Structure 1
Amino acid sequence: MRWLHKVLGTVCAPLFLLWLISGGVMIFCSFPRLGDKDLPLQDTLAASAALPSEATLQAKLQPGEELTALALTTHCGEPVWRVETSEGGYLWHADSLLTTATASVPEAWYEQYASRFSSAPIVAVDTIRHIDTWTPYPRVKKDLPLYRYRFDDPEGTYLYLSSQTGDAVQFCTRSERIGASCGTIPHMFYYWWLRQNRTVWLWVISIFASLAVIAAFTGLYLGIRLYLRMWRRTKRLRSPYKRQKTLHWHLVGGVIFGLSLTLFALSGVMSLYDLPSWIVPQHETETKRKEAQQVEAPQLGRSDMYDYRLLLDLGGVQQITWRSYGGHPYYEVQRHGQLESWDALGEAPQPLHLTEEDIKAKLTPVLGTADMQIELMDHYDNYYASLNDKYELPIYRISAQDKESSRLYISPTTGETRYYSLNGRVKKWLYPFCHNLRIGFFAEHPTLRIICMLVLVLGGLVVSVSGVVLGFRYLSRVIRRAKSRRSKNKR
């Protein structure tokens, strides 16, 4: 085992050094994302008497054609209906309901839309024909080629637009790119040439992380065994390498931080995979998750619903999407760059608030049981916790007595659902807790979490830096011995 640790440690110590330094950066700098930066820049819908009623929209569909999604929005500055049915998708002009070409984006639109993101002049427009460093996600491939706009501003802004839809895909500044270059990119191997093929990327991460788990665990085992031997001999817990400083600090640091390094590497690889069913059995986890989070078909023309056109009187409305939760219709409204949910029932718009009856109506057929405990939670717990305080509170927490021991968290104002089986909850203790300490306690004490994370990072650096030095010495000895053997053979 000592030889195994020596070989794997030589290989993995530089990896741990890379992961720890970049992980320390990630505590303070995340990978740039578009997020909701584009929402305030989208066009506003104007109230119009020419907008059709829901009955007219329903009549536009062919007999037997089922509506699956509906939104009143804008496309390249023009108000349109985005319609999805059992027969396909359509884009209709808002007033006339005439079909428009979905792929048609006027050339002038790209620069006009890009100029909304910055008042600075555009210095260059690049055509990106493959995912690059700042768009490393496979889902972006459907938007290729991308148009990258570079602005002459102090922030060094990049904007990526989809050539297929004209929508924004990514927005990042120079400081965000520098932070990601030192943090997320080396930590998660977000190199565009590797991310081109997600399967290869997964294999590379998995192999390196698995070797790191073995290296850290064998080192922890050897360190504890060595200390136990010293205890039996001297009745004192002391390092036998007092004069060999590098070995001494590697041993001390490894015993103290070896478990955290092992769990760090293990949780890193497990973040990419589900927890095996032989550890915690799963029965219908994926089916229940999909059904619990499934978007229900919109409901049109109900007599107890008010006219959707009243929503436009709220002002600043950019998009209206028809939604339903457990048979309860509501509107998701993008307004002044913010997403709001408005109850569709009644005589006038009112903010949505789902009741326990709505929750049961949705979940009883999904979970196959009405035996569930519903509570309105006003604090984070270990499975619903945000490190940047972005998760909604209060939130419905539902615990069901089914085969999966299902736990769900449902927003009373949007219906957004998070589903965890017992298998999923066990995995959350491995990742993210063992990787970035994301649990309820640390979510409510963020400063303490940062201190603990930095202590673990610094302790891991002691182990990895000393490991790099020891690995270099080991390789030097191996090379010298190989040269010595060659010289003897020549004689």
Structure 2
Amino acid sequence: MKRWLFLLHRWAGILLCLVIAAWFLSGMVMMYVGYPKLTQAEQMQGLAPLPAAGCCVPIEAALQAAGLKEASQWRLASVAGQPRYFFSDGRKRVVTVDALSGLPVEALSEADAVVAARHFAAGANAVSLGPVHEDAWTHSRALDAHRPLHRVAVDDAEQRWLYLSSATGEVVRDASFTERSWGWLGAWLHWLYMFRGGALNSWWTDIVIGLSLAGTLLGASGMVVGIWRWRFNGRYKSGSRSPYRGWMVRWHHVLGLLGGTLALTWMISGLLSVNPWKVFDAEGPKPDRLAYAGGPLQAQTAVPAEQVLRQLAAEGFAPRQLEWRRIAGANYVWAQNASGTRLLDERGQVLPAGIEPAKLVEAAARMLPSANIQAQQWLHAYDAHYYAREAHTMTGQRERPLPALRLVFDDPQAHWVVLDPASGAVLQTSNRLQRIERWLFAFLHSFDLPQLLALRPLWDSWMLSFSLMGLGLSLSGVVMGWRRLRVKSLRSVKPQQAPGVKAM
């Protein structure tokens, strides 16, 4: 048994240590440079203020021009300074209507993309890099409704590439020079994106699962072998507690004992990040957001854009985007600009205090009609399940405003729903399995408790220390594997000496 375990660890290490070293190295890069994304703040900064007068055609006429049977998302923003309605049925299709003429907008041309990008980048010089369906920085499925994308390089301080939707003309992603350069050594390498977008694209998840599983077996076998070979009582003839004489092998043994548990849990948490075999998918009913809304948006009762813009202008607020919402059967408009937000009710009046908590609770109760709300928790500070990360991190684009209202349901899946009283938005839904995933993936992979994240640079020191230990452990395995393969290769090519013949 021991011999087979030794052989498993040795040959698995030869095959996998380079991959694991790449994961540790890229993980350290991702602590400071993440995968490109367009944050809400970046989007608002690039949009022009909507005109307070002369805008816009009635939303009912715009919806009719869009030709969508169902549109669950209605927005008003601008492209190259021109106001436009955007109607979407989710992630599958999005249609644009000129808010001044009421006519549908055709697919964005390359020349128009350069104009829109220049306007978004505050007048910086812009050069088209040509259309692209998907490249290293646009693998997200959230962009599918916008493909193909126009890629435009802008000469601003960050030397960004802007990706514009061919369907709407909006900038849907930006990638700075720092993100594009370090990204190859960071997120692109860490997430094995060399297997995305090509012939192996459909196998990407299976490749990640397979390599993570193999890495987990390698780590577990290494821990067992390391403990077997360590003399806790007494020493070997060399005077060491480790039987290995070479410094490289000995350090590999010691590093494995010191950091092997962390490396193993890191491999396991990386495996769980892709939800293998749907282990975190709960059966049973899920929170129904349409029930929370009280039905689909209705143009006949929607607050007119012209009224909203006029009201906000009177209050000195210049919105850059309007979004129509429906909560508990009532209509609202959520207005945003680069410095703040406003919520207007169905009469077009600003609600400084947001939506009444009782109304939110009443609407949320409809999301799971077979369950009861057993607890209401006001969140005035972040906790282990509701917290924000820096913008460059994997979940940094998620809005996590405070205060927020968490509702705890008594259904078999133990759902939690977090609501924003300022906007009425459903900020987060989770069930019991998803909260377990939070600990097994997010915590074990990045130790992202708000209390720990607040202790920077101590958090950085901890993350870098164990990552460097894992990098040293895997790189020493690479060197040892290379040496063993080289020795075996030399032995296999060494000429065989005939019996009775002396070597010259």
TM-score bracket for this pair, using the shorter chain length: 0.7 to 0.9
Q: What residue ranges of structure 1 are gaps of 5+ in the alignment?
A: none
Contact 2:319-2:336 at 8 Å conserved across structures: yes
1:20 matched to 2:24? The reply is yes
1:454 matched to 2:453? The reply is no
**Alignment correspondent of 2:325:** 323
Q: Taking structure 1 as reference, are residues 209 and 194 closer, same or farther at Cα in structure 2, changes over 3 Å only?
A: farther
1:422 matched to 2:424? The reply is no
Contact 2:109-2:166 at 8 Å conserved across structures: no
**Alignment correspondent of 1:161:** 164
Matches within 5 A, 1:69-468: 69-74=73-78, 77-83=81-87, 94=99, 98=102, 100-105=103-108, 108-116=111-119, 117=121, 119-122=123-126, 124-152=127-155, 155-191=158-194, 194=197, 198-227=201-230, 230-231=231-232, 239-241=241-243, 243-273=245-275, 277=279, 282-284=282-284, 287-288=286-287, 297-298=296-297, 307-308=307-308, 309-313=310-314, 314-335=316-337, 337=338, 340-344=341-345, 348-351=349-352, 353-367=354-368, 368-388=370-390, 391-414=400-423, 415-468=425-478
Alignment partners' CA distance in 2, 1:433 and 1:397: 21
Alignment partners' CA distance in 2, 1:23 and 1:316: 41
Contact 1:305-1:345 at 8 Å conserved across structures: no
Q: Secondary structure at the match of 2:172?
A: strand
Contact 1:33-1:172 at 8 Å conserved across structures: yes
Q: Taking structure 1 as reference, are residues 10 and 289 closer, same or farther at Cα in structure 2, changes over 3 Å only?
A: farther
Alignment partners' CA distance in 1, 2:460 and 2:148: 40
Q: Secondary structure at the match of 1:288?
A: coil
CA displacement, residues 174-193 of structure 1 (integer Å, 9 cap, x when unaligned): 22222212211111122376
Aligned-partner residue type, residue 199 of structure 1: S
Contact 2:292-2:364 at 8 Å conserved across structures: no
Aligned residue pair count: 476
Q: Taking structure 1 as reference, are residues 198 and 392 closer, same or farther at Cα in structure 2, changes over 3 Å only?
A: farther
Deviation, structure 1 residue 447: 2.6
Contact 1:136-1:195 at 8 Å conserved across structures: no
Q: Secondary structure at the match of 2:193?
A: coil
Percentage identity across paired residues of the two chains: 21
1:469 matched to 2:470? The reply is no
Greater alpha carbon shift after TM alignment, 165-174 vs 194-203: 194-203
Contact 2:195-2:204 at 8 Å conserved across structures: no
Q: What residue ranges of structure 2 are gaps of 5+ in the alignment?
A: 392-398
Q: Secondary structure at the match of 1:136?
A: coil
Deviation, structure 1 residue 30: 1.2
Alignment partners' CA distance in 1, 2:54 and 2:159: 44
Contact 2:360-2:421 at 8 Å conserved across structures: no
Alignment partners' CA distance in 2, 1:315 and 1:197: 50
Q: Taking structure 1 as reference, are residues 290 and 7 closer, same or farther at Cα in structure 2, changes over 3 Å only?
A: farther
1:43 matched to 2:53? The reply is no
Contact 1:52-1:95 at 8 Å conserved across structures: yes
Contact 1:31-1:176 at 8 Å conserved across structures: yes
Alignment partners' CA distance in 2, 1:137 and 1:428: 21
Aligned-partner residue type, residue 215 of structure 2: A
Q: Secondary structure at the match of 1:397?
A: strand
TM-score normalised according to structure 2 size: 0.81
Q: Secondary structure at the match of 2:287?
A: helix
Aligned-partner residue type, residue 181 of structure 2: I
Q: Taking structure 1 as reference, are residues 29 and 82 closer, same or farther at Cα in structure 2, changes over 3 Å only?
A: closer
Q: Taking structure 1 as reference, are residues 303 and 479 closer, same or farther at Cα in structure 2, changes over 3 Å only?
A: closer
Aligned-partner residue type, residue 173 of structure 1: S
Alignment partners' CA distance in 1, 2:405 and 2:225: 47
Alignment partners' CA distance in 1, 2:188 and 2:250: 33
CA displacement, residues 404-462 of structure 1 (integer Å, 9 cap, x when unaligned): 11122222223232111111111111111111111232233243321210111121122
Alignment partners' CA distance in 1, 2:212 and 2:434: 21
Alignment partners' CA distance in 2, 1:90 and 1:151: 26
Alignment partners' CA distance in 1, 2:144 and 2:219: 37
Alignment partners' CA distance in 1, 2:476 and 2:78: 58
Aligned-partner residue type, residue 213 of structure 1: T
CA displacement, residues 120-142 of structure 1 (integer Å, 9 cap, x when unaligned): 433x4222333112223344454
Q: Taking structure 1 as reference, are residues 294 and 219 closer, same or farther at Cα in structure 2, changes over 3 Å only?
A: farther
Greater alpha carbon shift after TM alignment, 16-25 vs 129-138: 129-138
Contact 1:328-1:358 at 8 Å conserved across structures: no
Alignment partners' CA distance in 2, 1:112 and 1:334: 23
Deviation, structure 1 residue 302: 6.0
Contact 2:294-2:363 at 8 Å conserved across structures: no
Deviation, structure 1 residue 338: 5.3
Alignment partners' CA distance in 2, 1:334 and 1:402: 35
TM-score normalised according to structure 1 size: 0.83
Contact 2:414-2:431 at 8 Å conserved across structures: yes
Contact 2:132-2:148 at 8 Å conserved across structures: yes
Deviation, structure 1 residue 271: 0.7
Greater alpha carbon shift after TM alignment, 73-82 vs 112-121: 73-82
Alignment partners' CA distance in 2, 1:139 and 1:192: 19
Alignment partners' CA distance in 1, 2:133 and 2:88: 29
Greater alpha carbon shift after TM alignment, 344-353 vs 251-260: 344-353
Deviation, structure 1 residue 39: 2.5
Contact 2:50-2:319 at 8 Å conserved across structures: yes
